[in-house]
Amino acid sequence: MTYDDDGNHYGFTLSDELIMIRDQVRRFMRDEVKPIEDKLPHDATHCDPADEARLRGIAEEMGLGRLNVPAEYGGQENDCMIRCIVNEEASKCRLGGYRPALGAIRRGPPNIIWRGTPEQVHKYGIPCVEGDMTGYIAITEPTGGSDPRNNIQTRAVKKGDKWILNGRKMWITYAGVSDWGVIFARSREAEDGRPPEITAFIVEPSFPGISFEPIPVIRPLYPYEITLDNCEVPEENLLGEVGAGFGVAEQWLVAGRMPYAAGCIGMAQEALDMACGWVKQRSSQRGLLADKQAIQWMIADSETELRAARMLVYEAASASDRGENAKILASACKLFGTETAFRVVDRAIQMFGGMGVAREMPLERWLRELRIKRIGEGPSEVHRMVIARDKLKNTDGGVYFG
């Protein structure tokens, strides 16, 4: 068990509400999700639509269907801590890297849609909550994605009552299978020492001049390349104000990093728990693997690192829920959470030996998923840069060297 019976988690006390939600999701995963998952092919990307619909219905009854939707639009408007706890538990399945609880707990629309006009919210946001519509975010380009303000080369030019977009987006998850997306483009070049102006646009796959191409990667869910060739976007699909796109993008990215890291921790925690069960029954050289010092050190390091990673997520989520600027904390938990999760799953595979890479086990799939997670939502190196710059800016040298 990750938590004790009183909800005390390594120095962090969970409220009664959080304990109840956590335990609900655990039971749901054990009783409803696991039996369906056991019947799926190894590299499945979805379960049967009927099964997913049934699971979603149960999740809705549990209050888990609209976790990140404002109350005015029929959502729960739950805080970041709740989303992190739910995502950690719901990611403990074979498809946990991108479809927690086999899709039962909706990923929902990109949360920046709630900053749109009432017409945009009702056309794009509400159908994602009440129906099967889905959306995506497109920032990264062939020239890079770690510095969106300066690396975005896609251009947007106003012509009459339309915006004309030209450029390419790369590595965009869900783009080719979604009903709409948000594209970020330059609407003005850098000048007089000012950075380029970035603006956000809502696009649909039916718009003239937009096309999608899947990019095969190491996991079964492929991202897409988006080509914009004089793509026509109506004026009413401008999201937010002209030139305000960078702020919109940053808000979306920061808000998503804590649950993102929590999901990685969930997969890794499950992998470690599985490995512990294995070594306690597996014999080697006239003794159990669990009695070997090398195995015990792998377990100790993994458990310690997962505890630390989870506390970083909780610290960031708590700060966000208090209305504080959680940008640096979000970078820290995303960096440490994804790298820790990858190491832990890698150790679990080592403890399992040959069985660890067998396709009947979820471990090798989680390892592939977690390798991608170290790149998605900003690669580790960018988060190190963000954290270091903030530290250098806000530290005067300490007591002995100021």
Pick the CATH number of 135-239 from 3.40.50.2000, 2.40.110.10, 3.40.50.10860, 3.40.309.10: 2.40.110.10
pLDDT for the residue 2:
42
Q: Which two tokens stand for residue 134?
A: 């889905």
What pTM did the predictor assign?
0.91
Q: What is the dihedral of CA 371, 373, 379, 385, to 10 degrees?
A: -110
Q: Are 71 and 80 in contact (CB under 8 A)?
A: no
pLDDT for residue 9: 45
DSSP state letter for 29:
I
Residue 359 phi, psi (nearest 5): -70, -15
pLDDT per residue over 21-65, tens digit each? Answer: 999 999 999 999 999 999 998 888 889 999 999 999 999 888 887
- DSSP labels, 65-90: S-TTS-GGGT-----HHHHHHHHHHH
* Alpha-carbon dihedral sign for residues 138, 147, 85, 98: positive
Helix 245-279 with 293-321: angle, nearest 10 deg: 150
Q: According to CATH, where is 1.20.140.10 located in the chain?
A: 253-393
Q: What pLDDT digit, counting tens, does each position of 258-312 carry?
A: 999 999 999 999 999 999 999 999 988 788 999 999 999 999 999 999 999 999 9
Catalytic residue among 32, 37, 89, 377: 377
Which of the four CATH numbers 3.30.1490.20, 3.40.30.10, 1.10.540.10, 3.60.9.10 does domain 8-117+124-130 have?
1.10.540.10
Active site residue 235: no
User: Is the model more confident about 288 or about 246?
Assistant: 288
Q: What is the pLDDT of residue 402?
A: 62
Measured between alpha carbons, how far is residue 286 from residues 278, 292, 298, 352, 393 in Å? 16, 11, 20, 17, 57
Q: Which residues does residue 234 pair with via DSSP β-bridges, in sequence order? A: 162
3-state secondary structure of 28: helix
pLDDT score for 89: 96
**Where residue 1 falls among pLDDT bands split at 50, 70, 90?**
very low
- Return the beta strands (E) in 126-278 as ranges: 135-138, 155-159, 162-172, 180-188, 197-203, 210-214, 224-234, 238-239
Q: What is the pLDDT of residue 182?
A: 96
pLDDT digits (tens, 9 = 90+) for 115-151: 899 999 999 999 988 888 999 999 999 986 666 667 8
